[in-house]
Amino acid sequence: MFSQLIVSGSWGGLVAFVLAVPAFLLEVFEKGNVKDLPLLLDVRHAGGRRLSSFAVFLVALIVHVSLGFGFGILYSFFVGQMPEVIGQPYTPFSLAGFALVLWILVGGALLPVLRCGWFGKKLGQWVWLELFISFFLFGAGLWVAFRLSEPVYW
């Protein structure tokens, strides 16, 4: 079970990293002059200090990949411990449902605690949609990753 969680988390981190490639390319080509990183949560202050644009990018990338790792672990955990909640495991439908639940939890609980407003309303008018799309892109990417590893791990 533990190895399955680690593999799922690793796939999740890898998928999150791949989804962060547009932000990485924008950061490289714009040389730090990007105001909003696509698909990444911009953390501009830490410890009462304003971060440089490169530090904002690094922190956002670390947070994004860590959330992807956690997404993969949580999904595998629920498949193993509560299969009746997930339904048929490792299917596009179960991953889409899981992505929807996590989108609601992140937008309705985590972002308000971080003072970003409900579903990131204080970060911008369309942040809720960006989150929604990114969670479902992530779910689709995780499904592809699970399909690629199916003969070896599941």
> pLDDT for 19-36, tens place per residue?
888 777 766 666 656 665
Q: What is the pTM of this model?
A: 0.76
Per-residue pLDDT averaged across 51-79, rounded? 82
* pLDDT score at 151: 55
90-131 pLDDT, tens per residue?
Answer: 888 888 888 898 899 888 998 888 788 898 888 778 888 888
State yes or no: pLDDT of 38 exceeds 70: no
Find where tokens 């501009």 sit: 44
Average pLDDT, stretch 47-65? Answer: 75
More confident residue, 5 or 28: 5
Per mean pLDDT, which range of 8-12, 56-60, 68-72 is the poorest? 56-60
CA distance 70 to 15: 12
More confident: 113 or 82: 113
